[in-house]
């Protein structure tokens, strides 16, 4: 890359150049000689799959991590960034994937606190006037006295960005800013930022894995893979195929799971008017009804926070139902061990270490969770046959290629992909009748994702009824036979995969009322 | 703190072979090393403390050692002191397997002892073995229910069990005093209010010629049974799941509330049994002598043993030694009983603080087979 | 007593009891409130209280100045809080269990170091007589208050104000509400919680000084009888609001005063059970205010993890 001098716009938005940056975590090389050049007053997309090193690169620039090698040129001069505070003083700011707002405080309190230099005694009246004054100069409008816990995801995202502008950030890093937004909110928020960038008030580095956003909003993009730089260019001169080839690499072709044409089986899973409370006591599910046949995958799409978590939790028995019932193969299902065994029901939730494993217990015991109390694993009433459990685990470790020091190792010592494989081995080593899965590929790399998707498809092809709850629309479009959209605890849209229209699904995800009629049509 | 992988001696083939094969041995070595380090740290701080008090720390430590393990007599005192700790340790260790930090052993201990003493009079004139069984049943039942209450409050109402068991200790002692001076009071015990004696012939005897009562063997036996329960039964497996990750346990259909209540009951029953043994083997009647902190020391035992019932046996003996050693500390060096309390507090502090060291030393981490 | 005042004797005795018994509850709950606002629990306040009582008594005895004793108590509380704070800032150390260890250590140290203080009489804190208008000796006796009481009340108001209107107060609240947000804003969670625990220890220990230097005004091993333990419950009851800590302290002081008041009036049965009233009250409050399905209203968000 050239190291020509990077300019600054007349409103003070700097350019950024990163030269030859490397960062190791133990034996893992997270960044390997990566360079990046961002022109002042542009939106520069940083593309790459999970583990490509996008976040690491930005965190090194922001001073969260200290790079082992590499230089940073900000605007006209070379800089070193010790910590995030120093980055802020240099006019750099970051909006994280997860909100860093304080739930129990108001918009005003959050903004004032974020300012670092808070006066010893705060005069709230004066601060309120100043903040409202400042807000008037931006496209974002929020009530200063609203509590964060009462804001929607879109409003929170706006506040995060507002906070950066309030801190006078001129170079803004956005880490997957739209992952919890509806398509409409995404359009609105990024559109406003784009206008500011056009006026030269801001330079933005946008971390994402969504091509749609890159094509629509970014001026240029840089693509990383496995911690290495693979390509860069102006978006206008690149096409999606090229970028996707760069991201995935020529050696890794997506192995789309093959869908067998199976005759529609009998109804195996019925959710009837499910109602449940969310964490804060407000209704999370409102009379949600859906039935799944054998040999089909029903996909439930939606923006996160619309009841998906409650839905998987009530089926998994982790959250009580306040009304409604679950039928499995026509029988009332309450999640007891006997029912789980009898109906061959399996669950693959997101973040398996967190949801389906006991981190400090051994791989053997984690793999035995389904069958430890069944003969012949159980002897003389209630004694465990530990030797048999170990042999079973050794067999699964070999068959599913789980990389572990030994069957006795605590499962949390394994890598994310291996934990996922261990859980997959436990759940799918025997044919499943009903499979419920939520964001099964969240946080996994490319290979693991392809592997899990094909396993899910395999279960379907063998006649299982599969309920797939996912926030990744592409995953649903790839796997599902029928697609529903969940909004505020209810299913408001249904379509067959063959007739799926992405823009209509997007509208339904935003809770657009016109979509509601389609369900009843 | 992290010890580098690159150090030469770590790369000996034999060390590596052990590290690759045996997770169990490595974890044992890790626990022993870290617990030992915590022990050493507390001995050192205690020495400084003693030195400030103008007592030679080496003398103090030697006196403690002599009082605890120096002679066959001191061994006997140590074992007598260790006997209730075996069981009160289980009162914290068993519920902790299901994720509950129960510190109500003191309450279950005194109430178990009290009701066991009282139960002896329900079967007057019965054979000794029957009296013992009735007493043990009463002690276990009262202790078990006493700990089950906070567990149920936790499970059904979300009440923090640590705080509630702590409060319930004070309530238990109030009930204990009220009953000892009221309903169960023996009018002949004037200056030391007590219940009626259980009868000389109903006392649990000593092992052979020693002064160590058979309660020690009962306690060790219960520890072994608890170890089997924890590691070799389906209930123990369910408890580990419920304690390790309630979400995962629910997902696999385990009724975790039931498991938690069972383990709380068993833990409380152990403390109640300890109270019964203390009455039937040492005190002969329930009085203020029960209320000397065996329940609280049990918490320390459980934490030091890292909730493993078998590890409780050596830890209880060690702590029994601390309690036995303080006698000599007082008679030889004039240090009061509270000096042992200080040592126990320091030990507890460092044991809990050392929790942070687990997983920090790469020598104890098994290697990934490649 | 009931001779001259009739049935008014009991409520008056309770009122007097509240004025004498509430201040330790107030200080210990304010200290705990500060610690918990920062997102950490210190169950070791019992040890802090006892150590505070012992050191205040000892220093007052040695120096002749009770106020020096109060300061010494605060300093000792600060040190104990620092130890708790330091250990808990290490990863994987359980703050609840460590609090119990600190309780044992504090009690052990206090009993050990204070064994020579049971006999001698230390200089006591002065009191103000609010009953000057009355000729009834009972009223005069009941309305004597110690200067530390208004100090505690003022401290509650100051803390309430500080949590709302000052930078330091906001930062403490921030640490209690969101670790992520604090980190993102460049504040060190460990430093904030360390300081909050240490200063919380300072405040709580002053409650101990009140015990040994005013009421009951002597040093012995049973001086606190678990008042420090109840700090956690008081703060829950006060919904993490320093002003509410005043009400909580009054109610607990009253619960503690009822037993002796009734005894003085001639109801002497069930003394032990009466003395357990504050513990039972605490249990009842916890049972009522807890819920299986939702977090405590007003609780600092970071506290939820350690309390549930």
Tokens of A338: 């006997």
**What confidence tens digit (pLDDT) does each residue in A378-433 have?**
888 889 888 899 999 999 998 888 888 888 888 888 877 788 889 988 988 888 89
Chain C (276-295) residues lying within 8 Å, Cβ to Cβ, of chain B: 276, 279-280, 282-283, 286-287, 290-293
Asked if residue A2 belongs to a domain, the reply is no
Higher-scoring residue by pLDDT: C186, A320:
A320
* Gap between the Cα atoms of A318 and A193, Å rounded: 41
Residues A397 and A452 in one domain: no
Is A240 found in the same domain as A388?
Answer: no
Sheet holding A465-469, edge to edge: A345-348, A434-438, A465-469, A296-301, A482-487, A490-496
The pLDDT of residue A185: 78
For the segment C166-177, the average pLDDT, to the nearest whole number, is 92
> Which residues 263-302 in chain B show a CB within 8 A of chain C?
296, 299-300
Considering chain A, what is the average pLDDT of its residues?
84
Q: Are B85 and B298 a contacting pair, CB within 8 Å?
A: yes
Of A430, A457, A482, which closes a domain? A430
Selection from A30-44, A110-124, B16-30, C252-266 with the highest mean pLDDT? A30-44
| B361, pLDDT greater than 60 | yes
Residues of A in contact with C167 (CB under 8 A): 118-122
Res. A518: pLDDT tops 50: no
Contact A433, A344 (CB under 8 A): yes
Q: Domain residues for B274?
A: 65-334
Residue that the structure tokens 């009582």 belong to: C53
**DSSP 8-state symbol, B356:** G
Per-residue 3-state assignment (H helix, E strand, C coil) for A455-503? HHHHHHHCCCEEEEECCCHHHHHHHCCEEEEEECCEEEEEEEHHHCCHH
Instruction: Please tell me whether the peptide bond between A376 and the residue prior to it is cis, using omega within 30 degrees of 0.
Output: yes
Enter the tokens of residue B37.
């380090």
In a domain? residue A350 = no
Tell me, yes or no, whether B304 lies in a domain: yes
- Considering the domain architecture, whether residues A330 and A442 belong to the same structural domain is answered as yes
Chain A's closest residue to C294, CA to CA, is A280
User: In chain B, how many domains are there?
Assistant: 1
Residues of chain A with Cβ-Cβ distance to B23 below 8 Å are: 362, 405-406, 408-410
pTM of the entire predicted model: 0.82
As a whole number, mean pLDDT of residues A362-375 equals 88
Query: Which residue in chain C is spatially nearest to A97 when comparing CA positions?
Result: C180
Inter-chain contact A356–B251, Cβ cutoff 8 Å?
yes
Q: How confident is the model at residue A516 (pLDDT cuts 50, 70, 90)?
A: very low
Pick C293's closest partner by Cβ from A84, A120, A281: A281
Instruction: Indicate if the alpha-carbon torsion angle B55, B58, B64, B66 is positive or negative.
Output: negative
Domains in chain C, ordered, with CATH? 2-307 (1.10.3470)
Residue A329 pLDDT > 80, yes or no?
Answer: yes
| pLDDT exceeds cutoff 60 at A515 | no
Please identify, among A368, A397, A430, the residue that sits at the C-terminal boundary of a domain.
Answer: A430
Q: Does residue A99 sit in the same domain as residue A225?
A: yes
Q: Are residue A259 and residue A390 in the same domain, yes or no?
A: no
- At A476, the pLDDT band (50, 70, 90 cuts) reads confident
Of B175, A116, A239, residue with least CA distance to C184:
A116
- Give the pLDDT confidence score for residue C122 in this predicted structure: 87
Task: Decide if pLDDT at A51 tops 90.
Answer: no
Residues 231-250 of B with CB under 8 A from C: none
Average pLDDT value for residue range A289-314? 88
Give the SS3 label for residue B231.
helix
Tell whether B73 is within 8 A of chain C (Cβ): no
Lowest model confidence (mean pLDDT) among A45-54, B121-130, C237-246? A45-54
Please give the residue range of the domain that contains residue A62.
16-104+168-248
Residue A79 has pLDDT above 80, yes or no: yes
Which residues have a Cβ under 8 Å from the Cβ of A290 and sit 6 or more positions away?
Answer: A270, A271, A298, A300, A467, A484, A491
Indicate which CATH number applies to the domain containing A340. Answer: 3.40.50.300
Q: Under a CB-based contact definition with an 8 Å cutoff, are residues C201 and C78 in contact?
A: yes
Confirm if B212 and B131 have CB atoms less than 8 A apart. no
8 Å CB contact of A100 and C178: yes
Q: What is the pLDDT of residue A251?
A: 47
A93 and A181 co-located in one domain: yes
**Rounded mean pLDDT, C156-161:** 97
CB contact under 8 A, C294 and A83: no
Where does the pLDDT of residue A253 fall: very low under 50, low under 70, confident under 90, or very high at 90 and above? very low
Q: A316: distance to nearest CA of chain C, Å?
A: 17
Distance CA C181, CA C231 (A): 28
CB atoms within 10 A of CB B10: 14
Alpha helices in chain B (DSSP H): 13-21, 23-52, 57-65, 72-97, 105-119, 128-157, 161-181, 215-232, 234-244, 246-251, 256-278, 294-304, 309-333, 338-353
Query: Would you tell me which residues 239-278 of chain C have a C-beta closer than 8 angstroms to some C-beta of chain B?
Result: 269-273, 275-276
Residue A88 sits in the same domain as residue A182: yes
Chain C touched by B159 (CB under 8 Å): yes
Question: pLDDT band at residue C308, thresholds of 50, 70 and 90?
Answer: low
pLDDT in tens, B25-82: 877 888 899 999 999 999 999 999 989 888 899 999 999 999 999 999 999 999 999 9
* Banded model confidence at residue A2, pLDDT cuts 50, 70, 90: very low
What does residue A24 show for φ and ψ, rounded to 5 degrees? -110, 140
The answer to whether residues A414 and A452 belong to one domain is no
Same domain, A260 and A217: no
Model pLDDT for residues C94-113, shown as the tens digit of each residue: 888 899 899 989 999 999 99
Separation CA C201–CA C188 (nearest Å): 20
- Contact list in A for residue C166 (CB cut-off 8 A) is 120-122
A423 in the same domain as A438: no
ipTM: 0.90
Q: What are phi and psi of A472, to 5 degrees?
A: -100, 105
- How far is the C-alpha of C212 from the C-alpha of B15, rounded, in Å? 59
Report DSSP letters for C43-54, one per residue. Answer: TTHHHHHHHHHH
Which residue of A318, A358, A372 is in closest CB contact with B250? Answer: A318
């Amino acid at each position: 890359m050239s190291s020509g001098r990077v300019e600054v716009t007349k409103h003070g938005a700097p350019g950024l150049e990163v030269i030859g940056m490397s960062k190791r975590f133990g034996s893992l090389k997270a960044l390997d000689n990566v360079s990046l050049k961002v022109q002042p007053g542009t939106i520069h997309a940083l593309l790459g799959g999970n583990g490509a090193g996008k976040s690491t690169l930005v965190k090194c620039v922001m001073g969260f991590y200290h790079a082992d090698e590499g230089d940073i040129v900000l605007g006209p001069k070379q800089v070193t960034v010790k910590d995030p505070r120093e980055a802020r003083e240099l006019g750099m700011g970051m909006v994280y994937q997860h909100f860093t707002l304080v739930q129990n405080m108001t918009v005003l309190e959050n903004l004032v606190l974020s300012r670092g230099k808070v006066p010893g005694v705060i005069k709230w009246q004066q601060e309120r006037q100043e903040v409202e004054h400042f807000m008037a100069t931006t496209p974002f409008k929020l009530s200063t006295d609203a509590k964060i816990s009462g804001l929607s995801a879109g409003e929170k995202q706006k506040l995060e960005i507002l906070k950066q502008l309030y801190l006078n950030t001129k170079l803004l890093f956005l880490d997957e800013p739209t992952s919890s937004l509806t398509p409409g909110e995404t359009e609105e928020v990024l559109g406003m930022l784009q206008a500011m960038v056009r006026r030269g008030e801001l330079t933005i580095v946008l971390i994402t894995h969504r091509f749609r956003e890159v094509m629509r909003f970014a001026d240029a993009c840089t693509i990383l893979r496995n911690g290495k730089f693979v390509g860069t260019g102006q978006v206008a001169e690149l096409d999606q195929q090229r970028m996707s080839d760069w991201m995935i690499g020529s050696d890794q072709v997506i192995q789309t799971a093959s869908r067998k044409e199976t005759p529609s089986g009998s109804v195996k899973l019925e959710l009837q008017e499910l109602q449940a409370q969310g964490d804060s006591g407000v209704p999370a599910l409102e009379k949600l009804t859906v039935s799944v046949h054998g040999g089909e995958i029903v996909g439930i799409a939606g923006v996160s926070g619309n009841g998906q978590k409650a839905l998987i939790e009530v089926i998994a028995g982790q959250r009580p139902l306040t009304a409604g019932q679950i039928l499995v193969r026509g029988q009332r299902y309450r999640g007891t061990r006997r029912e789980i065994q009898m109906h061959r029901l399996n669950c693959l939730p997101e973040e398996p270490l967190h949801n389906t494993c006991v981190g400090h217990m051994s791989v053997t015991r984690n793999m035995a969770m389904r069958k430890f109390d069944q003969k012949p694993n159980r002897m003389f009433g209630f004694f465990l046959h530990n030797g048999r459990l170990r042999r079973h685990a050794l067999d699964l470790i070999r068959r599913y290629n789980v990389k572990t020091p030994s069957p006795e190792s605590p499962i949390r010592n394994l890598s994310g992909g291996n934990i996922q494989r261990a859980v997959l081995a436990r759940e799918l080593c025997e044919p499943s009748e009903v499979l419920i899965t939520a964001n099964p590929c969240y946080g996994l790399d490319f290979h693991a994702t392809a592997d899990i998707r094909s396993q899910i498809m395999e279960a379907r092809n063998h006649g299982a009824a599969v309920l797939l709850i996912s926030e990744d629309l592409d995953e649903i479009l790839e796997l599902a036979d029928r697609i529903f959209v969940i909004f505020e605890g209810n299913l408001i849209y249904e379509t067959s995969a063959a007739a799926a229209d992405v823009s209509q699904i997007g509208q339904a995800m935003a809770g657009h009322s016109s979509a509601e009629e389609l369900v009843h049509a | 703190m992290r010890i580098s992988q690159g150090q030469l001696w770590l790369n000996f083939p034999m060390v590596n072979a052990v590290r690759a094969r045996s997770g169990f041995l490595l974890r044992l070595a890790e626990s022993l090393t870290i617990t030992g380090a915590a022990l050493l740290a507390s001995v050192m701080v205690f020495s400084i403390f003693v030195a400030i008090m103008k007592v030679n720390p080496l003398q103090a430590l030697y006196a403690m050692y002599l009082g605890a393990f120096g002679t066959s007599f001191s061994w006997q005192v140590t074992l007598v002191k260790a006997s209730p700790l075996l069981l009160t340790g289980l009162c914290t260790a068993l519920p902790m397997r299901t994720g509950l930090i129960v510190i109500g052993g003191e309450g279950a201990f005194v109430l178990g002892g009290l009701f066991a003493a009282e139960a002896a009079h329900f079967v007057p004139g019965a054979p000794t073995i029957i009296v013992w069984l009735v007493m043990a049943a009463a002690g276990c039942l009262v202790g078990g229910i006493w700990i089950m209450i906070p567990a149920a409050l936790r499970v059904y109402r979300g009440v923090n069990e640590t705080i509630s068991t702590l409060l319930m200790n004070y309530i238990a002692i109030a009930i204990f005093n009220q009953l000892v001076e009221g309903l169960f009071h023996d009018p002949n015990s004037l200056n030391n209010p007590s219940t009626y004696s259980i009868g000389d012939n109903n006392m649990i005897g000593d092992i052979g010629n020693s002064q160590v009562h058979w309660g020690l063997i009962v306690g060790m036996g219960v520890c072994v049974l608890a170890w089997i329960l924890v590691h070799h039964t389906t209930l123990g497996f369910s408890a580990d799941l419920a304690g390790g990750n309630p979400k995962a346990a629910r997902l696999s259909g385990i009724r975790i509330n039931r498991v938690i209540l069972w383990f709380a009951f068993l833990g409380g029953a152990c403390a109640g049994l300890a109270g019964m043994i203390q009455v039937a083997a040492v005190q002969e009647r329930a009085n203020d002598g029960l209320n000397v902190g065996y329940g609280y020391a049990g918490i320390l035992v459980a934490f030091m043993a890292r909730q493993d019932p078998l590890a409780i046996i050596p830890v209880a003996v060690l702590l029994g030694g601390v309690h036995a050693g303080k006698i000599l500390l007082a008679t030889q060096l004039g240090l009061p009983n509270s000096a042992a309390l200080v040592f126990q507090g320091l030990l507890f502090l460092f044991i809990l603080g050392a929790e942070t060291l687990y997983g920090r030393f790469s020598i104890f981490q098994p290697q990934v087979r490649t | 007593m009931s001779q001259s005042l009739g049935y008014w004797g009991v409520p008056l005795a309770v009122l007097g009891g509240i004025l004498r018994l509430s201040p330790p509850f107030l200080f210990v709950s304010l200290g705990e409130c500060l610690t918990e606002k920062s997102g950490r629990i210190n169950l070791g306040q019992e040890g802090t209280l006892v150590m505070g009582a012992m050191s205040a008594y000892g220093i007052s005895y040695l120096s002749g100045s009770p106020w020096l004793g109060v300061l010494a108590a605060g300093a000792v509380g600060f040190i104990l809080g620092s130890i708790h704070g330091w250990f808990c800032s290490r990863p994987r150390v359980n703050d609840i269990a460590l609090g119990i260890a600190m309780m044992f250590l504090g009690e052990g140290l206090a009993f050990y170091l204070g064994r020579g203080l049971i006999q001698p009489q230390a200089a006591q804190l002065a009191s103000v007589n609010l009953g000057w208008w009355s000729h009834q000796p009972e009223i005069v006796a009941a309305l004597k208050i110690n200067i530390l009481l208004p100090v505690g009340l003022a401290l509650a108001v100051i803390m309430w104000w500080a949590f709302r209107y000052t930078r330091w107060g906001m930062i403490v609240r921030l640490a209690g509400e969101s670790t992520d947000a604090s980190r993102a804003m460049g504040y060190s969670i460990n430093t904030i919680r360390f300081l909050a625990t240490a200063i919380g220890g300072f405040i709580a220990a002053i409650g101990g000084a009140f015990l040994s230097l005013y009421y009951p005004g002597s040093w012995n091993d049973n001086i606190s009888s678990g008042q420090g333990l109840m700090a956690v419950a008081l703060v829950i009851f006060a919904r993490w609001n320093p002003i509410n800590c005043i009400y909580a302290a009054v109610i607990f002081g009253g619960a503690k005063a009822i037993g002796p008041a009734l005894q003085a009036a001639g109801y002497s049965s069930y003394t032990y059970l009466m003395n357990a009233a504050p513990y039972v009250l605490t249990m009842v409050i916890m049972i009522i205010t807890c819920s299986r399905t939702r977090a405590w209203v007003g609780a600092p968000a970071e506290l939820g993890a350690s309390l549930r």
